Amino acid sequence: MTVTVRFAPSPTGRIHIGNARTALFNWLFAVNNKGRFIQRFDDTDIARSKQEFADSILYDLHWLGVFPDVTEYQSRRVEIYDAAVERLKAARVLYACYETPEELDLRRKVRRTRGQPPVYGREALTLTPEQVAEYESDGRRPHWRFLLPNFTSDPLQPERTEVHWNDLVRGEETVDLASLSDPVLLREDGTYLYTLPSVVDDIEMGVTHVIRGDDHVTNTGVQIALFQALGAEPPVFGHHNLLTTVSGEGLSKRTGALSIESLRGDGIEPMAVASLAVLVGTSENVTAAHDLSELARHFDPAATSKSAAKFDPDELFVLNRTLMHHMPFEEARDRLIVLGISGDKAESFWLAVRGNLDRLSDAVAWWRILSDGPQEAAEFSGEDRDFLHQAFDLLPEEPWNGTVWKDWTGKIREATGRKGKPLFMPLRLALTGRSSGPELADLLPLMGREGTLARRP
Ligand code: GLU
């Protein structure tokens, strides 16, 4: 059987790094198992779901290197869910309820004061046909609950009923169905909550592995019961830990915090995002993988910790720098052209500066420094100015070879007696306007003799 996974966000905002973790866990699992990846938009909440968010999610996934085999929208599949509803009704495991949210709230409070668990007491099952007719004539419409299989013969007498599965991430898991309320599958306006469409799609689309956040562990107990009620074998489940901010807060699509879009805007490379999103909160070291195939080799769902993983955005910059430092020119070339960096010096320029970049766009400032001179002229003491005049007078004639910097500074040392920082720092400041940066030995040939002399203070 072909391994088939799916990433199923609701398109209600831009995805963040925590969502990317789920997408990538699925993608890498598919890569490692030569499987299929379904992009499924859980957009049954029509009021909050937007096509523009679905489009932006696809864009973000492509940016990360995730290319779904197929894209599906739940809002276009309602007839299939309606058919499943009919099956559940015929099997008498879907029942109509008429309570208002206020009534339910009140009942929960009463149960709590009696020391009972605040689960739904299945009161709707005891309604007489007359009571139902009265609700209907009052204009109430039913919502529909799934009767959890947690009783022997009387649903009003639930008993401990364990659902077990071997979680890809967490190992043996158990949910007691008697500890849960019968879930509402259909709202009174006829729209679907997430629970049923997800199971129906997983069956219909041949999903073999459901990998998602551990906020769904309890749902899984319910959904396994639903798979069985619909006559299907449940898939394998895996629940990964969620990412939180350093202060322990959860991430939300709605706030836009740490969205893939904002990280891209900050100049973070896709592989920095992907490496951190996948490796944080696992027993693997967080290092920057060069591409998703390399990351797939480091990926083992069972190596994921069970507790929440704190995520520090600063780590993205560390990974980004590593990626910059090793990025071959061929990979950077087109992006540099877009930034106005091209021509026969582009490659040696890139190799000279990449080790000093936090992000690729930082190359622009260095390109300007090399072509137009320091952005701000440095201030020098009289002594340093004299030293620099002497130094610039010693600049070797062209043609230059690879040792020009060594030759030049050797001559300066001999003539002035300066060495170490007092020799190099005034030169660096005069040449670049900055006190740190790429090796001057690499920059000097890029400036050429004329360009270098133009920087004489
Ligand atoms: N739409 C659900 C969510 O975003 C999908 C969960 C699942 O993967 O089943 O949480």
Do 72 and 165 have their domain in common?
yes
Distance of CA 280 to the CA centre of its chain: 11
Q: Is 319 exposed, middle or buried (0-12, 13-18, 19+ CB in 10 A)?
A: buried
Do 317 and 205 have their domain in common?
yes
Condensed to tens digits (0 to 9), the pLDDT of residues 325-339 reads 999 999 999 999 999
Range name among 110-114, 139-143, 172-176 with the lowest pLDDT average: 110-114
Question: Is pLDDT above 70 for 279?
Answer: yes
Give per-residue burial for 147-156: e unless 16+ CB within 10 Å, then b: bbbbbeeebe
Residue 433 lies in a domain: yes
Residue 245: pLDDT band with limits 50, 70, 90: confident
List the CATH number of the domain containing 426: 1.10.10.350
Q: Is 371 exposed, middle or buried (0-12, 13-18, 19+ CB in 10 A)?
A: middle
**Percentage of the chain exceeding pLDDT 90:** 93
Do 106 and 40 have their domain in common?
no
Q: 372, 406, 436 — which closes off a domain?
A: 372
Q: Identify the pLDDT of residue 251.
A: 83
Do 29 and 173 have their domain in common?
yes
State the Cα–Cα distance between residues 92 and 145, nearest whole angstrom.
11
Task: Tally Cβ neighbours within 10 Å of residue 29.
Answer: 21
Q: 346, 372, 398 — which closes off a domain?
A: 372
State the Cα–Cα distance between residues 42 and 288, nearest whole angstrom.
32
Distance of CA 102 to the CA centre of its chain: 38
DSSP per-residue string spanning 57-124? HHHHHHHHT---SEEEEGGG-HHHHHHHHHHHHHTT-EEEE---HHHHHHHHHHHHHTT--S----GG
List the CATH number of the domain containing 88: 3.40.50.620
What atom of ligand 1 comes closest to residue 202's alpha carbon? 9
Q: 304, 339, 372 — which closes off a domain?
A: 372
State the Cα–Cα distance between residues 54 and 433, nearest whole angstrom.
46
Q: Which amino acid is at 281?
A: G
Question: Is pLDDT above 70 for 44?
Answer: yes
Tell me, in angstroms, the distance from the centre of ligand 1 to residue 27's CA. 15
Residue 187 lies in a domain: yes
**Phi/psi of residue 151, each to 5°?**
-150, 160
Question: Is pLDDT above 70 for 6?
Answer: yes
What atom of ligand 1 comes closest to residue 194's alpha carbon? 1
Task: Tally Cβ neighbours within 10 Å of residue 172.
Answer: 8
Do 285 and 197 have their domain in common?
yes
Ligand 1 pocket, residues with Cβ under 6 angstroms: 8-10, 42, 194, 198, 210, 212, 216
Residue 29 lies in a domain: yes
Residue 256: pLDDT band with limits 50, 70, 90: low
Q: Which amino acid is at 18?
A: G
Residue 156: pLDDT band with limits 50, 70, 90: very high
Condensed to tens digits (0 to 9), the pLDDT of residues 101-126 reads 999 999 999 989 999 888 999 999 99
Tell me, in angstroms, the distance from the centre of ligand 1 to residue 424's CA. 58
What atom of ligand 1 comes closest to residue 6's alpha carbon? 8
Do 4 and 78 have their domain in common?
yes
Q: Identify the pLDDT of residue 195.
A: 97
DSSP per-residue string spanning 4-20? EEEE---SSS--BHHHH
CB of 425 closer than 8 Å to CB of 364? no
Residue 225 lies in a domain: yes
Report in angstroms the alpha-carbon separations of 174 from 2, 117, 163, 220: 27, 18, 6, 10
Mean pLDDT of 238-267: 88
Tell me, in angstroms, the distance from the centre of ligand 1 to residue 156's CA. 31
Residue 247: pLDDT band with limits 50, 70, 90: confident
Residue 276 lies in a domain: yes
Do 296 and 335 have their domain in common?
no
Do 200 and 295 have their domain in common?
yes
What DSSP character marks residue 282? B
Q: Identify the pLDDT of residue 255.
A: 66
Instruction: Share the mean pLDDT of the chain.
Output: 96
Total domains in the chain come to 4
The secondary structure element, H or E, covering residue 342 is none
Task: Tally Cβ neighbours within 10 Å of residue 161.
Answer: 18
Tell me, in angstroms, the distance from the centre of ligand 1 to residue 370's CA. 51
Q: Is 353 helix (H, G, I), strand (E, B) or coil?
A: helix
CB of 302 closer than 8 Å to CB of 168? yes
Give per-residue burial for 185-223: e unless 16+ CB within 10 Å, then b: bbeeeeebbbbbbbbbbbbebebbbbbbbbeebebbbbb
Tell me, in angstroms, the distance from the centre of ligand 1 to residue 40's CA. 9
What atom of ligand 1 comes closest to residue 216's alpha carbon? 6
User: Which amino acid residue places its CA nearest to atom 4 of ligand 1?
Assistant: 9
Mean pLDDT of 131-138: 96
Question: Is pLDDT above 90 for 248?
Answer: no
Question: Is pLDDT above 80 for 45?
Answer: yes
Domain that holds residue 110: 99-141
Q: Identify the pLDDT of residue 311.
A: 86
Do 84 and 225 have their domain in common?
yes
Do 158 and 246 have their domain in common?
yes
What atom of ligand 1 comes closest to residue 7's alpha carbon? 8
Residue 38 lies in a domain: yes
What atom of ligand 1 comes closest to residue 211's alpha carbon? 8
Residue 377 lies in a domain: no
User: Which amino acid residue places its CA nearest to atom 3 of ligand 1?
Assistant: 9
CB of 29 closer than 8 Å to CB of 301? yes
Condensed to tens digits (0 to 9), the pLDDT of residues 344-395 reads 999 999 999 999 999 999 999 999 999 999 988 899 999 999 999 999 999 9
Residue 164 lies in a domain: yes
Tell me, in angstroms, the distance from the centre of ligand 1 to residue 315's CA. 27
User: Which amino acid residue places its CA nearest to atom 5 of ligand 1?
Assistant: 8
**Percentage of the chain exceeding pLDDT 70:** 99
Do 185 and 317 have their domain in common?
yes
Do 263 and 280 have their domain in common?
yes
Tell me, in angstroms, the distance from the centre of ligand 1 to residue 211's CA. 9
**Phi/psi of residue 325, each to 5°?**
-60, -25
Paired sense of beta strands 36-41 and 4-7, if any: parallel
Condensed to tens digits (0 to 9), the pLDDT of residues 59-115 reads 999 999 999 999 999 999 999 999 999 999 999 999 999 999 999 999 999 989 999
